[in-house]
Amino acid sequence: MSTKEQPKQGPEQTFFDEPAVDRVLGVVMALATEVYVLRDRLRTVERQLEKGGQLDRGLLDAEPSLDDLALDAADRETYVAGLMQNLQGLQVSKGAAGAGGKHD
C-alpha cells in the first residue's frame, strides 16, 4: 500500500477541559510503564544474583544505617532540588517576558 492510500491519522481525541492534561497524562503513563519494566528487570537481576550466591538479600533489604544514609546525602539533595525547582518557576536566564510574564 502506498503512502498516498494510507488513511489519514487522527483526529486527536481529548477528554479534559485543558487538552494539555490529555498529553501530560500520556507522558505519565509512558513513564509508569518504563518504571514497571525497570522494576521487573531489577527484580530479575536480583533473583539471579541471589541464586548464584552473589547477592545477600538480607543486606540489600535491611534498613540502611545512619552512615549509609549519610553516604548518599548529597545525591539525595541534588535529586530533590532538580525535581522541586520546576515547581518554583525560578528563572536562570535573562529573557524578554510578554505582558504579565506570559508569552503568546
Partner 1 sequence: MTDRTMDDRSFAVAQALILETKKYWTTRLYPALKENYQHKASLQETPPQTVADVQALIGETTDYQVYAWLERHLQRFKYSGRYGLAPYHRERRDELLAPLAEMANSAGLDTDDNFEQPKYYRAVDIHQHPGGVWSAETAGFEYERGARSTTPMMGGKHRDLHQRFTDLVATGGTPSRVLDMGCGFGKSTQPFYETFGEARIDAIDLSQPCVTLGAWTAAQAQAQNTRFRQMSAFETDYKDEEFDLVTSTMLIHELPPPQIDRMFDESLRLLQSGGRMVHLDFHELPDVFSRFIHYGHGRRNNEPFMEPWAEMDVVTVLKEKGFKDVKVHSFSEAEGVDAINSPVWRFPWTVISAVKP
For partner 1, the binding residues (CB under 8 A) are 1, 5, 7, 13, 15-17, 22, 25-26, 29-30, 32-34, 36-37, 40-41, 44
In this structure, how many other beta carbons lie within 10 angstroms of the beta carbon of residue 55?
15
Which residue lies nearer to partner 1 by CB, 9 or 88? 9
Residue type, 30: A
> From the CB of 49, what's the least distance to partner 1, in Å?
17
Give the residue with the Cβ less far from partner 1, 3 or 65: 3
Minimum CB–partner distance for residue 25 and partner 1 (Å): 6
Dihedral class, residue 64 (left if φ above 0, else alpha if ψ from -120 to 50, else beta): beta
The answer to whether 86 touches 92, Cβ cutoff 8 Å, is no
Give the Cα separation of 72 and 54 in Å (integer). Answer: 23
Q: Which is nearer to partner 1, 9 or 54 (CB)?
A: 9
